[in-house]
Chain A
Amino acid sequence: MGIYVDALREGWILLSSGTLDVWAIIVTSLRVSGAATMIALLIGIPVGLFVGLKRFVGRGVALLVFNSGMGMPPVFVGLIVAMALSRRGPFGDLSLLYSQTAMVIAQVIIATPIVMAITAAAVSAVPRELRLQARSLGAQGWRVALLTLREARMGLIAAVAGGFGSVISEVGAVQMVGGNLQGETRVMTTAIVQYTRMGRYGYALSLALVLMAMVVFVNVALTRMQTSAQQWERQ
Chain B
Amino acid sequence: MSAPAVALAGVGLKRRYARGGFELSVDSIDVPAGETLALLGPSGSGKTTLLEILGLLQRSDAGQVLLDGRAVGMRDRAARLQMAAVFQRPHLFKGSVAANVEYGLVARRVPKRQRVERVAEALERVGLAGYEGRSALVLSGGEAQRVSLARALVLEPRVLLLDEPLASLDRLLKRQLTRDFATILADAGVTVVYVTHDQDEALVVAQRIAIMNRGRIVACGAAEEVMGLAVDEWSAQFLGVEPASQGRVTGVEQGLVTVATGGLEVFASGNPPVGADVLFAVHPEDVLLFEPGVELPLTTARNRVPVTVTSVEPRGATFYAALDAGGVKLAASVSRAAAAELGVSPGARLLAVFKATAVRWRLVNETTGAATM
Contacts and interface: CB of A to CB of B under 8 A. Distances in A.
Interface of A: 127, 129-130, 132-140, 143, 147, 150-151, 153, 229, 232-235
A138 B155 contact: yes
B137 A136 contact: no
Given A138-B107, A233-B138, A235-B138, A132 B87 contact: yes
A143 B107 contact: yes
B103 interface: yes
Contact of A135 (B57, B89, B95, B152): B57
B83 A136 contact: yes
Nearest to A130: B91
A133 B104 contact: no
B50 to A, nearest CB: 15
Contact of A137 (B77, B95, B104): B104
A138 B137 contact: no
A56 to B, nearest CB: 15
Contacts of B190: none
A140 B152 CA distance: 16
B19 to A, nearest CB: 14
A138 B91 contact: no
A127 B89 CA distance: 11
A139 B104 contact: yes
B84 A137 contact: yes
Contacts of B83: 136
Interface in B165-188: none
Interface of B: 52, 55, 57, 77, 80-81, 83-85, 87, 89, 91, 93-95, 103-104, 107-108, 135, 137-138, 151-152, 155, 161
A132 B89 CA distance: 12
B77 A140 contact: yes
B275 to A, nearest CB: 50
Secondary structure at the A interface, as helix, strand, loop or mixed, is helix
Given A132-B57, A138-B80, 10 more contacts: A129-B87, A132-B85, A132-B87, A133-B91, A135-B80, A136-B84, A137-B107, A138-B81, A229-B94, A234-B138
Given A132-B87, A139-B107, A151 B93 contact: yes
A11 B314 CA distance: 85
Contacts of B87: 129, 132-133, 136
Contacts of B84: 136-138
By CB atoms of chain B within 10 A, which of A127, A137, A140 has the most?
Answer: A137
Contacts of A153: 94
9 contacts: A132-B52, A137-B84, A137-B152, A138-B81, A138-B107, A139-B107, A140-B77, A150-B93, A233-B94
A132 B83 CA distance: 13
B135 A137 contact: no
B94 A150 contact: yes
B135 A235 contact: yes
B103 A137 contact: yes
B89 A129 contact: yes
A4 to B, nearest CB: 46
Nearest to B136: A233
Nearest to A131: B91
Contacts of A129: 87, 89, 91
A130 B93 contact: yes
Given A234-B135, A234-B137, A136 B93 contact: no
Nearest to A233: B137
Nearest to B137: A233
A232 B57 CA distance: 32
Question: Closest 10 A-B residue pairs measured CB to CB?
Answer: A136-B85, A137-B104, A138-B107, A133-B91, A233-B137, A139-B107, A130-B91, A138-B81, A138-B104, A233-B135
Nearest to B88: A129
A151 B95 CA distance: 10
Contacts of B77: 138, 140
A134 B89 contact: no
A135 B161 CA distance: 13
Nearest to A137: B104
Contacts of A143: 107
A129 B237 CA distance: 32
By CB atoms of chain A within 10 A, which of B57, B91, B137 has the most?
Answer: B91
Nearest to A136: B85
Contacts of A233: 94, 135, 137-138
Contacts of A138: 77, 80-81, 84, 104, 107-108, 155
B85 A133 contact: yes
Contacts of B107: 137-140, 143
A137 B82 CA distance: 9
Contacts of B135: 232-235
A143 B104 CA distance: 11
Contacts of B94: 150-151, 153, 229, 233
B91 A127 contact: yes
Given A233-B137, A234-B137, A137 B91 contact: no
A137 B89 contact: no
